[in-house]
Amino acid sequence: MGKVIYGVHVSVDGSIEGPNGEFDWPEMGEELSAYSLELSERAAAFVYGRRVWEMMSFYWPQAESISDHPHDLAFAPIWRRTPKVVVSRTLAEADHGARVVGGGDLATEWAALRAEIDGDLLVTGGTGAATALAALGLVDEFQVIVHPVVLGGGRQVLPDLARQELRLVGTRGFDGRSVLMRYTRA
């Protein structure tokens, strides 16, 4: 069985988006893009909360007609072929072949999902799904990428989560700008 990995981009002041919901500040330089693509290629499935799912399911199926950024062009086909899971209490179904969990007992539904999927589950973006999974002790690794920006407010990463002890297992800089910190549960 693979790991459940939560990968998130944050500002120096710990926000995942700015005060007005903006997410225009992470810079995908060559090194960070290569790392992100490698991590995505290894994932057996992508996991999103409902809010992030709505954004992803709009953008990635048509990314090539919206963007010419090299990272977007490389990630779009990976996104389309990788199985997707949406953690939501409100969605009954999702398009693009995504499976929805969380309408009932999340721990039980997650255990069934883990029994079916062989490999890493990559939880990305947002805080809702990651917070719900981490609260149940279901996140094995936290990959926090800190970008050199102070947003001065906005949504915080993992809000209202009870204290959990983590162990630093690695760090890495990208493009002379951002820093990855990898933590596992202690």
Burial of residue 152, with CB atoms counted within 10 A of its CB: 0-12 exposed, 13-18 middle, 19 or more buried = exposed
Using pLDDT thresholds of 50, 70 and 90, give the confidence band for residue 186: confident
Q: At what angle do helices 50-59 and 128-135 cross, to 10 degrees?
A: 140
What single-letter DSSP state applies at residue 126?
S
Report the predicted TM-score, pTM, of the whole model to 2 decimal places. Answer: 0.95
pLDDT tens, residue by residue, 94-152: 999 999 999 889 999 999 999 999 999 999 988 999 999 999 999 999 999 999 999 99
Identify the pLDDT of residue 126. Answer: 84
112: domain CATH number?
A: 3.40.430.10
Q: Which domain holds residue 110?
A: 4-185
**Tally of domains within the chain:** 1
The dihedrals phi and psi of 174, each to the nearest 5 degrees, come to: -130, 130
pLDDT of residue 7: 97
d(CA 68, CA 134) in angstroms, rounded, equals: 35
Nearby residues of 54 by Cβ (< 8 Å), 6 or more positions away: none
pLDDT of residue 115: 94
